[in-house]
Amino acid sequence: MKVRPDSISFSVPAVPPSVNHYLLRARNRQHYFVSPEAEQFKSLVLAIANSKKLVIRWKRYGVEISIFLGKKQKGDLDNFAKVTLDSLVYAAIIDSDAKITDLRMTKDRDISNPRTVISVWAV
């Protein structure tokens, strides 16, 4: 019998770009590419995952995302989810964001310390 893995939690010292700034259309308008801001956020999550050896494998996942906006930052809460969840897969913390069955999100403001706090657990 498989043992349910422990939950993991970590903080990313950045706010993910909105889904509106995730994919950019190329000049030929037929191809899309990931924006530099999204690549940077995904790379930060990857570096943190590698340094802390963060990985969780299970049939289904729960994820909680807390966004702390800095000065003059703004965005719709639901638009922050896509890049954040894709970052978990990119960093191999989880194996598929399609397995997320419980998603919780909050948004607040911390002018001196903008960040994203992510928790993942087995459902």
Q: How many domains does the chain have?
A: 1
Per the structure, the complete domain to which residue 26 belongs is given by 8-122
Asked, for residue 3, whether it belongs to a domain, the answer is no
Report the alpha-carbon distance of residue 25 to residue 6 in Å, rounded: 40
* Both tokens assigned to 117: 């706090």
pLDDT at 28: 64
Report the alpha-carbon distance of residue 103 to residue 57 in Å, rounded: 17
pLDDT at 30: 62
Q: What is 77-120 written as a DSSP string?
A: GGGGHHHHHHHHHHTTSSS-GGGEEEEEEEEEE-TT--EEEEEE
Which stretches of the chain drop beneath a pLDDT of 70?
1, 20-33
pLDDT at 56: 95
CATH number, position 21: 3.30.1330.70
pLDDT at 13: 97
pLDDT at 22: 67
CA–chain centroid gap for 56, Å, is 15
